[in-house]
């Protein structure tokens, strides 16, 4: 595990201590949540690019037919 040092105002530190807040856990969760948001945004961008590149190249009727055939084969 890596160590990250963050400087915060003394007043903020005192308030965190007053409420017995586990700063490490809060920061870890917030960073994980932030990273997940970035990853989802990146995925959405990549999917949009893919949709644009494939636009008009795939016949929706063919897709529906292939899906029906796959379901019937099961």
Q: pLDDT band for position 55 (50/70/90)? A: confident
Q: Which residue has the higher pLDDT, 52 or 5?
A: 5
Q: DSSP strand E in the chain: where?
A: none
pLDDT for the residue numbered 41: 96
pLDDT for the residue numbered 4: 93
* pLDDT value at 61 more than 80: yes
Residue 16: count of CB within 10 angstroms of its CB: 14
* pLDDT value at 3 more than 90: yes
Phi-psi region of 10 (alpha: psi -120 to 50; beta: other; left: phi over 0): alpha
């Amino acid at each position: 595990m890596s160590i990250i040092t963050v400087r915060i105002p003394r007043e903020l530190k005192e308030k965190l201590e007053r409420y017995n807040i586990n700063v490490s856990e809060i920061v870890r969760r917030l960073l994980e949540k932030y990273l997940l948001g970035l990853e989802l945004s990146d995925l959405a961008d990549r999917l949009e690019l893919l949709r644009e590149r494939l636009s008009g190249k795939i016949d929706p009727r063919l897709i529906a037919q292939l899906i029906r055939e796959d379901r019937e084969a099961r």
